[in-house]
A and B are shown apart, each in its own frame.
Chain A
Amino acid sequence: ETGVTQSPTHLIKTRGQQVTLRCSSQSGHNTVSWYQQALGQGPQFIFQYYREEENGRGNFPPRFSGLQFPNYSSELNVNALELDDSALYLCASSPGTAFTDTQYFGPGTRLTVL
């Protein structure tokens, strides 16, 4: 059984550009959640996808968007990058959306915006 994987590992972009981050869920999981972790802080929830539909969203602007595919892999897209978007982006998969469904995290993508 493979765990959650993310790509790329590191990424450098300039302000105003767009970026796409990718996540492959753990086998058997149909739910993906994305988190942003700024340096020195705990992860902050961006949004969750369940069966290809957005299931919930945190306090992030619309330029943060996502997709989930039929195989339950997922993408996080960020448009019009700002310097403050520099962070570790984490995805977590779970077997469902219930609060009793444990979320398992990938290793993250480190995004640097210059």
Chain B
Amino acid sequence: DAKTTQPPSMDCAEGRAANLPCNHSTISGNEYVYWYRQIHSQGPQYIIHGLKNNETNEMASLIITEDRKSSTLILPHATLRDTAVYYCIVRVNNDYKLSFGAGTTVTVRA
């Protein structure tokens, strides 16, 4: 499995952009980067995914570097409700499962 590395925790201020980094230096050409988040004791929530182009939806933006070895999830205007564990996952071809790491615990402070 392509492995990901995320910082264990980060803080951000309410109303500011939150930039969550993820390293995936062993990613292969057709492997996708997925982001999920998990608010305390709830099921993981899908956020966004991408292959090589930058992606944006109503929740976040995903910026993938040109060499695809790292990516950044951007929450444009963080709110207290964005406090959660964020998981960066690389999905490999023919891999039917999601392999969760430890994720990044994001705390949004007022």
Interface residues of A (CB under 8 A from B): 4, 6, 33, 35, 41-45, 48, 55-56, 58, 88, 90, 92, 97-100, 102-108, 110
Contact across chains for A56 and B97 when beta carbons are under 8 A apart? yes
B99 → chain A, closest Cβ, in Å? Answer: 7
Contact across chains for B96 and A42 when beta carbons are under 8 A apart? no
B39 → chain A, closest Cβ, in Å? Answer: 11
Other-chain residue from A58, A97, A107 in contact with B43 (beta carbon distance below 8 A)? A107
Query: How many residues from B make CB contacts under 8 Å with A?
Result: 25
Q: Is the interface of B mostly helix, strand, loop or mixed?
A: loop
Tell me the nearest residue of chain B to A107, going by C-beta.
B43
Contact of B21 with A by CB under 8 A:
no
Other-chain residue from A6, A58, A90, A107 in contact with B97 (beta carbon distance below 8 A)? A58
- Taking CB atoms, residues of chain B closer than 8 Å to A99 are 31-32, 91-96
Contact across chains for B43 and A48 when beta carbons are under 8 A apart? no
